[in-house]
Structure 1
Amino acid sequence: MKTILIPFFALLLSINSFAQKPDKEKIKALKVAHITEQLDLTAKEAQAFWPVYNANQEAHYKLRDNKVRNRLEELSRSESETIITETEAKELLEKISKIEETKYKTEKDYYQKLSSILSSTKILKLKFAEYSFRSKMIKEFKSRHKGEKPKK
Protein backbone atom coordinates (compact mmCIF):
# COMPACT_ATOMS: atom_id res chain seq x y z
CA MET A 1 0.00 0.00 0.00
CA LYS A 2 2.83 2.40 0.87
CA THR A 3 4.49 1.75 -2.48
CA ILE A 4 1.34 2.96 -4.23
CA LEU A 5 0.78 6.00 -2.03
CA ILE A 6 4.30 7.41 -2.31
CA PRO A 7 4.25 7.87 -6.13
CA PHE A 8 0.67 9.12 -5.92
CA PHE A 9 1.59 11.86 -3.44
CA ALA A 10 4.69 12.67 -5.47
CA LEU A 11 2.43 13.13 -8.49
CA LEU A 12 0.09 15.40 -6.55
CA LEU A 13 2.99 17.48 -5.26
CA SER A 14 4.36 17.77 -8.78
CA ILE A 15 1.01 18.95 -10.08
CA ASN A 16 0.81 21.51 -7.28
CA SER A 17 4.24 22.88 -8.14
CA PHE A 18 3.16 24.04 -11.61
CA ALA A 19 3.38 27.68 -12.47
CA GLN A 20 0.25 29.53 -13.59
CA LYS A 21 0.82 28.43 -17.19
CA PRO A 22 2.16 24.88 -16.95
CA ASP A 23 4.76 23.71 -19.40
CA LYS A 24 3.49 21.07 -21.83
CA GLU A 25 6.60 18.96 -21.30
CA LYS A 26 6.02 18.91 -17.54
CA ILE A 27 2.44 17.80 -18.04
CA LYS A 28 3.56 15.13 -20.48
CA ALA A 29 6.15 13.85 -17.98
CA LEU A 30 3.53 13.75 -15.22
CA LYS A 31 1.16 11.88 -17.50
CA VAL A 32 3.83 9.32 -18.37
CA ALA A 33 4.59 8.84 -14.67
CA HIS A 34 0.90 8.48 -13.86
CA ILE A 35 0.28 5.93 -16.61
CA THR A 36 3.43 3.99 -15.70
CA GLU A 37 2.32 3.79 -12.09
CA GLN A 38 -1.24 2.81 -12.93
CA LEU A 39 -0.39 0.10 -15.47
CA ASP A 40 2.53 -1.49 -13.64
CA LEU A 41 4.14 -2.47 -16.95
CA THR A 42 6.88 -5.05 -17.21
CA ALA A 43 10.09 -3.92 -18.92
CA LYS A 44 9.12 -5.86 -22.06
CA GLU A 45 5.61 -4.38 -22.09
CA ALA A 46 6.91 -0.85 -21.55
CA GLN A 47 9.44 -1.19 -24.36
CA ALA A 48 6.68 -2.16 -26.81
CA PHE A 49 3.94 0.04 -25.33
CA TRP A 50 5.47 3.54 -25.26
CA PRO A 51 6.27 3.84 -29.00
CA VAL A 52 2.71 2.76 -29.86
CA TYR A 53 1.21 5.10 -27.25
CA ASN A 54 3.33 8.07 -28.36
CA ALA A 55 2.50 7.47 -32.03
CA ASN A 56 -1.20 7.42 -31.16
CA GLN A 57 -0.90 10.67 -29.21
CA GLU A 58 0.86 12.28 -32.17
CA ALA A 59 -1.85 11.04 -34.55
CA HIS A 60 -4.56 12.54 -32.33
CA TYR A 61 -2.67 15.83 -32.18
CA LYS A 62 -2.51 15.96 -35.98
CA LEU A 63 -6.25 15.28 -36.21
CA ARG A 64 -7.08 18.42 -34.28
CA ASP A 65 -8.02 20.58 -37.21
CA ASN A 66 -7.49 24.10 -35.93
CA LYS A 67 -9.24 25.64 -38.91
CA VAL A 68 -12.43 23.69 -38.18
CA ARG A 69 -12.19 24.34 -34.44
CA ASN A 70 -11.58 28.07 -34.97
CA ARG A 71 -14.53 28.29 -37.34
CA LEU A 72 -16.82 26.53 -34.85
CA GLU A 73 -15.64 28.85 -32.05
CA GLU A 74 -16.27 31.84 -34.29
CA LEU A 75 -19.79 30.60 -34.98
CA SER A 76 -20.50 29.94 -31.30
CA ARG A 77 -19.53 33.53 -30.42
CA SER A 78 -21.72 34.96 -33.15
CA GLU A 79 -25.18 36.23 -32.31
CA SER A 80 -26.39 35.94 -35.89
CA GLU A 81 -27.27 32.63 -37.52
CA THR A 82 -26.79 34.07 -41.00
CA ILE A 83 -23.01 34.52 -40.89
CA ILE A 84 -22.48 31.18 -42.64
CA THR A 85 -24.00 30.11 -45.93
CA GLU A 86 -25.61 26.72 -46.48
CA THR A 87 -22.71 25.70 -48.72
CA GLU A 88 -20.14 26.69 -46.08
CA ALA A 89 -22.12 24.82 -43.43
CA LYS A 90 -22.18 21.65 -45.57
CA GLU A 91 -18.43 21.92 -46.20
CA LEU A 92 -17.75 22.39 -42.48
CA LEU A 93 -19.94 19.41 -41.58
CA GLU A 94 -18.14 17.29 -44.17
CA LYS A 95 -14.76 18.22 -42.70
CA ILE A 96 -15.99 17.40 -39.19
CA SER A 97 -17.34 14.06 -40.43
CA LYS A 98 -14.02 13.16 -42.08
CA ILE A 99 -12.08 14.07 -38.93
CA GLU A 100 -14.40 11.96 -36.76
CA GLU A 101 -14.13 9.02 -39.17
CA THR A 102 -10.34 9.23 -39.14
CA LYS A 103 -10.34 9.43 -35.33
CA TYR A 104 -12.43 6.26 -35.17
CA LYS A 105 -10.13 4.37 -37.56
CA THR A 106 -7.04 5.58 -35.70
CA GLU A 107 -8.50 4.50 -32.35
CA LYS A 108 -9.47 1.07 -33.71
CA ASP A 109 -5.96 0.50 -35.10
CA TYR A 110 -4.48 1.69 -31.81
CA TYR A 111 -6.47 -0.85 -29.77
CA GLN A 112 -5.50 -3.63 -32.15
CA LYS A 113 -1.82 -2.75 -31.73
CA LEU A 114 -2.19 -2.47 -27.97
CA SER A 115 -3.92 -5.86 -27.75
CA SER A 116 -0.78 -7.51 -29.12
CA ILE A 117 1.26 -5.84 -26.34
CA LEU A 118 -1.02 -5.65 -23.31
CA SER A 119 -3.86 -7.66 -21.83
CA SER A 120 -7.37 -6.30 -22.17
CA THR A 121 -7.33 -5.58 -18.44
CA LYS A 122 -4.26 -3.37 -18.80
CA ILE A 123 -5.79 -1.59 -21.79
CA LEU A 124 -8.81 -0.73 -19.64
CA LYS A 125 -6.46 0.39 -16.87
CA LEU A 126 -4.82 2.66 -19.44
CA LYS A 127 -8.17 4.22 -20.33
CA PHE A 128 -8.89 4.77 -16.64
CA ALA A 129 -5.39 6.18 -16.04
CA GLU A 130 -5.85 8.71 -18.86
CA TYR A 131 -9.25 9.66 -17.49
CA SER A 132 -8.03 10.00 -13.91
CA PHE A 133 -5.02 12.08 -15.01
CA ARG A 134 -7.26 14.41 -17.00
CA SER A 135 -9.60 14.72 -14.00
CA LYS A 136 -6.70 15.58 -11.69
CA MET A 137 -5.45 18.22 -14.10
CA ILE A 138 -8.91 19.79 -14.39
CA LYS A 139 -9.30 19.85 -10.60
CA GLU A 140 -5.87 21.43 -10.25
CA PHE A 141 -6.71 24.04 -12.89
CA LYS A 142 -10.02 24.86 -11.20
CA SER A 143 -8.43 25.16 -7.77
CA ARG A 144 -5.77 27.52 -9.13
CA HIS A 145 -8.35 29.71 -10.87
CA LYS A 146 -10.97 29.69 -8.15
CA GLY A 147 -12.34 33.17 -7.60
CA GLU A 148 -11.04 34.58 -10.87
CA LYS A 149 -13.69 36.21 -13.03
CA PRO A 150 -14.04 34.77 -16.53
CA LYS A 151 -12.60 36.89 -19.31
CA LYS A 152 -15.12 38.23 -21.80
Structure 2
Amino acid sequence: MKTKFILPIILLFISSVSFSQDFKEKREKVKALKVAYITEQLELTTEEAQKFWPLYNAFDDKQAELRHEKMRAILDRFRPGSVDKLSEKEASALLVQMESLEENLFNLKKKFIKDLQGVISAKKIIKLKKAEEDFNRELLKQMREKRRG
Protein backbone atom coordinates (compact mmCIF):
# COMPACT_ATOMS: atom_id res chain seq x y z
CA MET A 1 0.00 0.00 0.00
CA LYS A 2 2.86 2.37 0.73
CA THR A 3 4.14 1.74 -2.79
CA LYS A 4 0.94 3.27 -4.18
CA PHE A 5 1.87 6.56 -2.55
CA ILE A 6 5.66 6.42 -2.90
CA LEU A 7 5.81 5.59 -6.61
CA PRO A 8 3.86 8.69 -7.77
CA ILE A 9 5.93 10.87 -5.46
CA ILE A 10 9.16 9.44 -6.86
CA LEU A 11 7.94 9.90 -10.43
CA LEU A 12 6.91 13.48 -9.68
CA PHE A 13 10.29 14.17 -8.09
CA ILE A 14 12.19 12.68 -11.06
CA SER A 15 10.15 14.66 -13.58
CA SER A 16 10.55 17.90 -11.63
CA VAL A 17 14.31 17.37 -11.32
CA SER A 18 14.47 16.60 -15.04
CA PHE A 19 12.45 19.71 -15.86
CA SER A 20 14.57 21.79 -13.50
CA GLN A 21 17.80 20.54 -15.07
CA ASP A 22 16.41 21.09 -18.57
CA PHE A 23 15.36 24.63 -17.61
CA LYS A 24 18.78 25.35 -16.08
CA GLU A 25 20.54 24.02 -19.19
CA LYS A 26 18.39 26.21 -21.44
CA ARG A 27 18.97 29.23 -19.22
CA GLU A 28 22.73 28.65 -19.30
CA LYS A 29 22.64 28.25 -23.08
CA VAL A 30 20.74 31.53 -23.47
CA LYS A 31 23.18 33.24 -21.11
CA ALA A 32 26.15 31.99 -23.15
CA LEU A 33 24.53 33.23 -26.36
CA LYS A 34 23.86 36.60 -24.73
CA VAL A 35 27.48 36.90 -23.59
CA ALA A 36 28.73 36.12 -27.10
CA TYR A 37 26.24 38.53 -28.68
CA ILE A 38 27.06 41.42 -26.33
CA THR A 39 30.81 40.84 -26.63
CA GLU A 40 30.51 40.94 -30.42
CA GLN A 41 28.22 43.98 -30.51
CA LEU A 42 30.36 46.01 -28.11
CA GLU A 43 33.61 44.90 -29.73
CA LEU A 44 35.15 44.54 -26.27
CA THR A 45 38.90 44.30 -26.04
CA THR A 46 40.32 41.54 -23.85
CA GLU A 47 41.12 44.10 -21.16
CA GLU A 48 37.63 45.63 -21.32
CA ALA A 49 35.98 42.20 -21.22
CA GLN A 50 37.96 41.22 -18.11
CA LYS A 51 36.62 44.26 -16.27
CA PHE A 52 33.19 44.42 -17.92
CA TRP A 53 31.85 40.90 -17.35
CA PRO A 54 32.22 40.75 -13.56
CA LEU A 55 30.35 44.08 -13.31
CA TYR A 56 27.70 42.98 -15.79
CA ASN A 57 27.14 39.59 -14.16
CA ALA A 58 26.82 41.10 -10.67
CA PHE A 59 24.37 43.69 -12.02
CA ASP A 60 22.39 41.09 -13.95
CA ASP A 61 22.12 38.79 -10.92
CA LYS A 62 21.00 41.60 -8.60
CA GLN A 63 18.53 42.91 -11.19
CA ALA A 64 17.05 39.43 -11.63
CA GLU A 65 16.75 39.06 -7.87
CA LEU A 66 14.93 42.40 -7.54
CA ARG A 67 12.62 41.64 -10.46
CA HIS A 68 11.81 38.23 -9.02
CA GLU A 69 11.04 39.82 -5.65
CA LYS A 70 8.86 42.44 -7.36
CA MET A 71 6.95 39.88 -9.39
CA ARG A 72 6.43 37.61 -6.40
CA ALA A 73 5.05 40.48 -4.33
CA ILE A 74 2.80 41.70 -7.11
CA LEU A 75 1.55 38.33 -8.30
CA ASP A 76 0.66 37.28 -4.79
CA ARG A 77 -1.67 40.26 -4.60
CA PHE A 78 -3.01 40.24 -8.16
CA ARG A 79 -4.66 36.85 -8.24
CA PRO A 80 -8.23 37.02 -9.57
CA GLY A 81 -10.42 38.76 -7.05
CA SER A 82 -7.63 39.45 -4.58
CA VAL A 83 -7.31 43.16 -5.43
CA ASP A 84 -10.93 43.69 -4.51
CA LYS A 85 -10.27 42.12 -1.12
CA LEU A 86 -7.43 44.53 -0.29
CA SER A 87 -8.12 47.20 2.26
CA GLU A 88 -6.99 50.74 1.47
CA LYS A 89 -4.21 50.32 4.02
CA GLU A 90 -3.00 47.09 2.38
CA ALA A 91 -3.21 48.69 -1.08
CA SER A 92 -1.16 51.66 0.12
CA ALA A 93 1.44 49.34 1.64
CA LEU A 94 1.62 47.40 -1.63
CA LEU A 95 2.12 50.64 -3.58
CA VAL A 96 4.95 51.63 -1.25
CA GLN A 97 6.54 48.20 -1.71
CA MET A 98 6.22 48.44 -5.52
CA GLU A 99 7.68 51.95 -5.54
CA SER A 100 10.56 50.84 -3.34
CA LEU A 101 11.42 47.94 -5.64
CA GLU A 102 11.24 50.21 -8.70
CA GLU A 103 13.49 52.73 -6.97
CA ASN A 104 15.96 49.98 -6.07
CA LEU A 105 16.03 48.82 -9.70
CA PHE A 106 16.57 52.40 -10.90
CA ASN A 107 19.38 52.99 -8.40
CA LEU A 108 20.98 49.68 -9.36
CA LYS A 109 20.96 50.72 -13.04
CA LYS A 110 22.42 54.14 -12.21
CA LYS A 111 25.23 52.57 -10.18
CA PHE A 112 25.91 50.04 -12.93
CA ILE A 113 26.24 52.79 -15.55
CA LYS A 114 28.52 54.79 -13.27
CA ASP A 115 30.68 51.71 -12.66
CA LEU A 116 30.82 50.98 -16.38
CA GLN A 117 32.02 54.47 -17.21
CA GLY A 118 35.37 53.57 -15.69
CA VAL A 119 35.59 50.44 -17.84
CA ILE A 120 34.12 51.18 -21.29
CA SER A 121 33.25 54.29 -23.27
CA ALA A 122 29.88 56.04 -23.08
CA LYS A 123 29.26 54.98 -26.68
CA LYS A 124 29.76 51.32 -25.74
CA ILE A 125 27.40 51.71 -22.78
CA ILE A 126 24.72 52.91 -25.19
CA LYS A 127 25.58 50.03 -27.54
CA LEU A 128 25.13 47.69 -24.57
CA LYS A 129 21.57 48.91 -24.01
CA LYS A 130 20.78 48.43 -27.69
CA ALA A 131 22.46 45.00 -27.79
CA GLU A 132 20.44 43.83 -24.76
CA GLU A 133 17.18 45.03 -26.34
CA ASP A 134 18.04 43.46 -29.71
CA PHE A 135 19.01 40.17 -28.07
CA ASN A 136 15.81 40.04 -26.00
CA ARG A 137 13.68 40.92 -29.01
CA GLU A 138 15.29 38.15 -31.09
CA LEU A 139 14.93 35.67 -28.23
CA LEU A 140 11.21 36.43 -27.89
CA LYS A 141 10.79 36.16 -31.65
CA GLN A 142 12.42 32.72 -31.68
CA MET A 143 10.33 31.57 -28.72
CA ARG A 144 7.12 32.63 -30.48
CA GLU A 145 8.16 30.88 -33.68
CA LYS A 146 9.01 27.72 -31.75
CA ARG A 147 5.56 27.70 -30.08
CA ARG A 148 3.81 28.14 -33.43
CA GLY A 149 5.88 25.55 -35.25
- TM-score calculated relative to the size of structure 1: 0.75
- Aligned residue pairs total 128
* Structure 2: gaps of 5 or more residues: 1-21
2:114 corresponds in structure 1 to: 112
Structure 2 distance, partners of 1:82, 1:117, is 49
Q: One-letter code of the match for 1:90?
A: S
| Larger helix percent | 2
Backbone CA RMSD of aligned residues: 2.2
Q: One-letter code of the match for 1:47?
A: Q
Structure 1 distance, partners of 2:121, 2:73, is 41
Structure 1 distance, partners of 2:134, 2:63, is 19
1:38 corresponds in structure 2 to: 41
* Structure 1: gaps of 5 or more residues: 1-18, 148-152
Structure 1 distance, partners of 2:28, 2:87, is 41
Q: Which whole-Å deviations, capped at 9, do the CAs of 1:104-126 have from their partners, x for residues lacking one?
A: 11111100110111111111111
Cα deviation for residue 129 of structure 1 reads 0.6
Asked if residue 131 in structure 1 is aligned to residue 133 in structure 2, the reply is yes
Cα deviation for residue 77 of structure 1 reads 4.7
Cα deviation for residue 42 of structure 1 reads 0.6
1:57 corresponds in structure 2 to: 60
Structure 2 distance, partners of 1:110, 1:39, is 16
1:94 corresponds in structure 2 to: 96
Structure 2 distance, partners of 1:120, 1:76, is 39
Q: Which moved more, 1:123-132 or 1:22-31?
A: 22-31
Change (3 A) 1:146 1:77: farther
Structure 2 distance, partners of 1:104, 1:82, is 30
Structure 2 distance, partners of 1:92, 1:86, is 10
% identity of equivalent residues: 38
Runs of 4+ in 1 over 3 A off after TM superposition: 19-22, 70-77
- TM-score calculated relative to the size of structure 2: 0.76
Structure 1 distance, partners of 2:23, 2:63, is 26
